[in-house]
A and B are shown apart, each in its own frame.
Chain A
Amino acid sequence: MTRYFSEDHEWIEVEGDLGTVGITDYAQGQLGDITFVEVPAEGASVSKGDSVSVVDSVKAASDVYTPVSGTIAAVNEALADQPELVNTEAETGGWLFRVTLSDAAELGTLMDEAAYKSYVDSL
């Protein structure tokens, strides 16, 4: 399994043609206490860069962009009652949605963990 990162602070963990997507720990820290998460509809077709999810914090709402194109395979149902999982387990249990990739080549445009860490340090 390989994990990739976007400049918009999404992570995607890929196994075969299935990717699990969430926001990074850095992003959840920037957002503050998360109060609501809007997830995409299962079965929806999405294109890389589309806003497919919205994360509400006390003061503002933030778009989450899908780092890859494909079809939404699953959403994290636990977030309905526990949106705060995105704060406490951003890179594990606080995942947002799963997507069946339509074009694995898109992963080539994303960063690996080391590159993302350098990127965050530069902000």
Chain B
Amino acid sequence: MSEYPVSDDDLVEEIVTLTLPLDAWHREKGSRMVEFAGYWMPVQYEGIMAEHLWTRESAGLFDVSHMGQVYISSEHGVTAEVEAAVEAALPIDLGTLKLGAPRYSLLLDEDGGILDDLMVTRWATGFYLVVNGATKWDDIGTLRELLPDDVTLNHLDESALLALQGPKAFAALERHVEGETPLSELKFMKGAAFKLGGVDAWISRSGYTGEDGFEIAIPGESAAMVADLLCGEPEVKPIGLGARDSLRLEAGLPLYGHDLSPETSVIDADLKFAVNKRRRTEGGFPGSDRVLKDFAEGTARKRIGLIVEGRMAAREGAKVFNGGQEVGVVTSGGFSPSLQQPIAMAYVDTALTAEGTALTIEMRGKQLPAKVAAMPFVPHRYHR
């Protein structure tokens, strides 16, 4: 037996949890911090239920700086080559993507499995992508492999990202922005450059709660100043990850790593709209063979919403039954603060996905009655 340590375990580096630009700001506001996507992040301040309801009634400020902000361009700006390269990587039709507009898209693997969901925005000089925090390093690697050498990819890791969401978000934000475009001209899924508290900001009217709201990219070093500015408005409170999750679940929005994964694809995930129309016939993106086949033939299972009877929440991993037969699995679930009942997303055999279909969910040895429900569970209130 050797005296000296030789196992692989001894050679593994300690994984350090990173901090976001607003780390001290969150702690000073009394947040409870958790490790998420490799960062310390606020899961709640006042409490998940209160923060959730505040966002639906007023305005909530979320720190989403853990997400990956990426800029794709070239020496000569947005050339035909850059456009072709982005289209070769994503099932997007850039021909219909106007300047300033963000659009939802998917990064797929060769089998059509979902590697991430993301937003792509057309800037004058390149494409601005926002990808999920937990997957950003893999996404950057995947994109670098897909893009030709003279199409550049920059990770904008000095940039902070905030989301201001809720019916009063516009009123609060408008007091602090200046720019060529009046904020009121931004409709849902439109963006523009502004000065916010005097610093350069890219702002899009978009978000992950189903409410009207904005996603705001600012220099990391200005994040605390901007957060103070916005939270100084009576309509605005800081909101943590806990409420972010309950809000998006009510809005029927999938969460990567739970409702979406390489084991799911476009049609079964019920994300047809993420493959733009022209690409559905032309293909030419990773996984397009499988995706086009699914468009034509359908899939065995589909992602649907479930409303659960009673008050016990169904959680991720719970099995869905039709009588004695196992027919699906819950991928997200929790108690809906707005509806005051448990809701869930599940992948269920396609034959049983009609709205109103009665199923059961197995939780802690019990079969909870549930019904297939249309999503969103809480209507969207986008400013169109």
Which A residues fall within an 8 A CB radius of B? 32-33, 35-36, 38, 54, 56-61, 83
Contact = CB atoms under 8 A, between A and B. Distances in A.
B335 interface: yes
The residue in A32, A36, A57, A58 that gathers the most chain B C-beta atoms within 10 A of its C-beta is A58
Contact of B49 (A32, A36, A38): A32
Nearest to B243: A58
A58 B341 CA distance: 10
Nearest to B52: A58
B242 A56 contact: no
A61 B315 contact: yes
A58 B246 contact: yes
A38 B312 contact: yes
Interface string B309-326: 011110100000000000
A49 B242 CA distance: 30
Given A35-B313, A36-B311, A38-B312, 9 more contacts: A32-B44, A32-B47, A33-B337, A54-B364, A56-B313, A58-B242, A59-B48, A59-B245, A61-B315
Contacts of A59: 48, 242, 245-246, 334
Interface in B273-306: none
A77 to B, nearest CB: 14
Contacts of B312: 36, 38, 56
A58 B364 contact: no
A56 B48 contact: no
Interface string B327-342: 0000000110100001
Interface of B: 44, 47-50, 52, 242, 245-246, 310-313, 315, 334-335, 337, 342, 364
The residue in A35, A56, A60 that gathers the most chain B C-beta atoms within 10 A of its C-beta is A35
Contacts of A54: 364
B335 A58 contact: yes
Given A32-B44, A56-B312, A61-B315, A38 B245 contact: no
A85 to B, nearest CB: 14
B148 to A, nearest CB: 44
Contacts, number: 47
Contacts of A35: 311, 313, 335, 342
A13 B205 CA distance: 55
A56 B311 contact: yes
Contacts of B335: 35-36, 56-58
Given A58-B334, A59-B242, A59-B245, A36 B313 contact: yes
A33 B334 CA distance: 12
A61 B313 CA distance: 8
The 8 closest A-B pairs by CB, nearest first: A33-B49, A36-B311, A35-B335, A58-B48, A36-B312, A58-B335, A32-B48, A56-B313
Contacts of A36: 310-313, 335, 342
23 contacts: A32-B44, A32-B47, A32-B48, A32-B49, A32-B242, A33-B48, A33-B49, A33-B337, A35-B342, A36-B313, A36-B335, A38-B312, A54-B364, A56-B312, A56-B313, A56-B335, A57-B48, A58-B48, A58-B334, A59-B245, A60-B315, A61-B364, A83-B311
Contacts of B50: 33
Nearest to B313: A56
Contacts of B242: 32, 58-59
Contacts of B313: 35-36, 56, 61
Nearest to B366: A38
A57 B337 CA distance: 11
A54 B337 CA distance: 19
A98 B48 CA distance: 30
A58 B315 CA distance: 11
Contacts of B337: 33, 58
